[in-house]
Amino acid sequence: MLQIPFIRQHTEQVKERLAVKNFQELSLVDEIIALDDERRKLQLEFDTTQAKVNSASKEIGQLMAKGQKEEAEALKQSVPSLKQSLQPISEQLTAVEKQLEATIVKLPNLPSVNVPRGKTPEDNVVVREGGSKPTLVNNAVPHWDLAKKYKLIDFELGNKITGSGFPVYTGKGARLQRALIQYFLDYNTAAGYTEIIPPFVVNEASAFGTGQLPDKEGQMYYVNEDQFYLIPTSEVPLTNIYRDELVKESDLPIKMTGYSPCFRREAGSYGKDVRGLNRLHQFEKVEIVQIVHPDNSYAVLEEMVLHVELLLQSLKLPYRILNLCGGDMGFASAQTYDFEVYSAAQEKWLEVSSVSNFEAYQTNRLKARFKDSNGKNHLAHSLNGSSLALPRILACLLENNQTENGIELPEVLHQYLGFKTI
């Protein structure tokens, strides 16, 4: 959530940066300032009236102490009307504050100056590429055919049990899925991230804190009776560990990693782009999250990008890194790098990770702060990234490593799998 003092002091800059993000409702900025003006006016009126009540009460006490009862009684007559006038002011102030909060959360985060201009994914900028695209055998097939041939994933059974987008992993497919999760967690903890197993459902306050609400209600599964949300990523519960928390500056950076199933309705998804593992309603992902000092967040962003890049290199997958343009960024992000791996059998790039800096957008909602050496409190910055999302990684590992004799898996996974080929 953007901070009102910043909006007031940098109004035109805020509008210019929102335009880079292709945000259409720039009039909300002026509406927020007008509501804040009204809030300030009512607050001043309330404080002034309350001060009169306090002053009169003090004076009455002083008069009574001096034995001037008649003067005290006369002054008492004015106090009830002053107190009565506080109620409507307080009600108006509460209403304006609620309207102001409901309006300001409609503004997305401002994009960093490092974000390229553009409206669609075609405007994203390729930062660099790595790895080599494999040359496949003549009879190469996409992962959904490989999964059926080697009995790794049963999409039809998942459809029977639940519905489309809920696959069942079997045999060596289940083992490969579990091996990838373990390898990703080990890789992250070796880099100093603390492993955490969080809850897989969250309350409304947590979903609001990381920016899923009110922006992404339609993408999340909702448990009506308990008013819980199934998490779209472990970023949500991990980051919310520090909601309403004040840490020491010396505690930063805080580095966390967590595995979780992820649940996304993906309403409106259809066609060839959702076939097989390309787009699911339930999938597994290992996430990395950092809470850092504001001065360091962009250096940490680059550090996290390199961390994910080296992980992809260890899997011997061809990849590219994209700096997302303003129009293709997430609501809460200030800058996002996407990682895509090349699916040789499908002949297309598939997104497998996003690494984002949210600056103080999430932490302002969360009230996640740190105390500096002078005793002053500041909002921290939050970042997260996929390290990694499983479905498309698994798809590309199957497709890119298929041979005449089976699927040869990367050496780094052998110790986790107990086998080298499928």
Task: Provide the pLDDT for residue 13.
Answer: 97
Task: Provide the pLDDT for residue 216.
Answer: 76
Tell whether residue 369 is among the known ligand binding residues: no
Q: How far apart are CA 369 and CA 127, in angstroms?
A: 33
Tell whether residue 356 is among the known ligand binding residues: no
Tally of CA atoms within 13 A in the half-sphere of 368 that contains its CB? 31
State the Cα torsion 244-248-253-257 to the nearest 10°: -50
Q: How far apart are CA 422 and CA 363, in angstroms?
A: 45
Tell whether residue 353 is among the known ligand binding residues: yes
Give 242-272 pLDDT, tens digit per residue. 999 999 999 999 999 999 999 999 755 555 5
Q: Which tokens in the block code for residue 116?
A: 């390229």
Tell whether residue 233 is among the known ligand binding residues: yes
Give 173-188 pLDDT, tens digit per residue. 999 999 999 999 999 9
Task: Provide the pLDDT for residue 272.
Answer: 56
Task: Provide the pLDDT for residue 270.
Answer: 55
Q: Could you tell me the pTM of the whole model? A: 0.92
What are the structural domains of the chain? 4-104 (1.10.287.40), 121-417 (3.30.930.10)
Positions of the chain with pLDDT under 70: 267-273
Task: Provide the pLDDT for residue 200.
Answer: 98
Cβ(20)–Cβ(328) below 8 Å: no
Tell whether residue 354 is among the known ligand binding residues: yes
Tell whether residue 384 is among the known ligand binding residues: yes
DSSP 325-357: -GGGS-TT-SEEEEEEEEETTTTEEEEEEEEEE
Q: How far apart are CA 286 and CA 391, in angstroms?
A: 11
Task: Provide the pLDDT for residue 76.
Answer: 83
